[in-house]
Amino acid sequence: MSLDLEAAAAAVRALRPGSKVLLVCHMNPDGDALGSMLGFGQGLKQLFAGPVQATFPGPLSVPEPLRMPGMELLVPQEQAFAEPDLLVTFDAASTGRLGELAGRLDTAPVSIVLDHHASNSGFGKLRLVDPGAAATAVVAAHLLEELGVIFDKGIAECLYIALVTDTGSFKFDLTTPEVHQLAARLVETGISVGEISRRIFDTRPFGAVKLFGEVLGRASLDPSAVRGLGLVTAVATLDDLERHAQPPYVLEALIDSVRCTAEADVACLLKQVTSDEWAVSLRSKGGADVSEVAVALGGGGHKLAAGFTGKGTAEDVISAVRMILG
């Protein structure tokens, strides 16, 4: 890690009963961002009697599969402490991922950044950034252990959801022995692993199943792209969501169906946000570093998984990706 855990733990221990703590994760939070934040928040409540809020930029909407213990800590960004005594961020590689809440970095006397992205821009006063960690949950668990927090079922469920989502059910390359050891400690609390996995990975509305089939039917493969390693692209539009009466969050799982294409090292999924804005997910099997693409286009991530917000038409965004990949 880029910072001794003791410094971050000392900042937490310095809190007084009346101190205000604000926890913030990135916009459109995934399982790791939300699970790390809410798991840490519950752990903090074991140690600290003062008010703790958790939030993220944008509407306070959590997809049904990601509802977990600690939701009572969540407040809309408009109600978040304007001048917290301690700010802790989760899974955000840059201040841009914090939206309007990034200003709290200036109003909070102490800020701790918990992250695992190699592309982290180095913001915040105290930084716990470990690019070798499989998930921000691993970093959060280390800090909780340094603080002496006891993992109960609520904390464990949150951290397990964070861990299992960012490792793709322990399939990705950063799934180290440490990851399995942490998972074992979490499972020992009595959480229902089967129920969590079914809810997150194996349950979706029939409308989403039909939507996936339609989008995958339009997918495009170019085996010559990425220096001959291959590129597969797919585009999901707002019209697709409306036609199948589905909320945007159902598309988060679609990248896994795109990335399994045998003839392509890189998978690119565009999810329409507005008429000229796209949330872009990138995945690599190891031949290309998709974080370089994401960072160049204003986003971030890892070598094998990254993302950014694209502007223009779908063709414009895909052309920009192809140009950088070569």
Per residue in 109-145, pLDDT (tens digit) is 999 999 999 888 899 999 999 999 999 999 999 999 9
d(CA 265, CA 259): 8
pLDDT over threshold 70, residue 280: yes
What residue type is 291 in one-letter code?
A: S
Residues 215-247 as b or e (16 or more Cβ within 10 Å = b): beeebeeeeebbeebbbbbbbbbeebbeebebe
Q: Residue 77 is encoded by which pair of tokens?
A: 């960004």
The third-level CATH classification (topology) of the domain covering 207-325 is Diaminopimelate Epimerase; Chain A, domain 1 (3.10.310)
Q: Residue 322: CA atoms inside 13 Å, Cβ hemisphere, count?
A: 17
What residues pair up with 274 in beta bridges, in sequence order? Answer: 277
Query: What average pLDDT does the structure give for the chain?
Result: 95
pLDDT over threshold 90, residue 62: yes
For residue 2, the model assigns a pLDDT of 52
| Contacts of residue 60, Cβ cutoff 8 Å, sequence gap at least 6 | 74, 75, 76, 77
Q: Which CATH superfamily is domain 5-201 in?
A: inorganic pyrophosphatase (n-terminal core) (3.90.1640.10)
| Contacts of residue 71, Cβ cutoff 8 Å, sequence gap at least 6 | 38, 62
What does DSSP say about strands 110-115 and 277-284: parallel, antiparallel, or unpaired? unpaired
Q: Where are the domains of the chain?
A: 5-201, 207-325
Model confidence at 4, in pLDDT bands (50, 70, 90)?
A: confident
Sign of CA dihedral 234, 27, 69, 15: positive
Helix (H) or strand (E) holding 114: strand 110-115
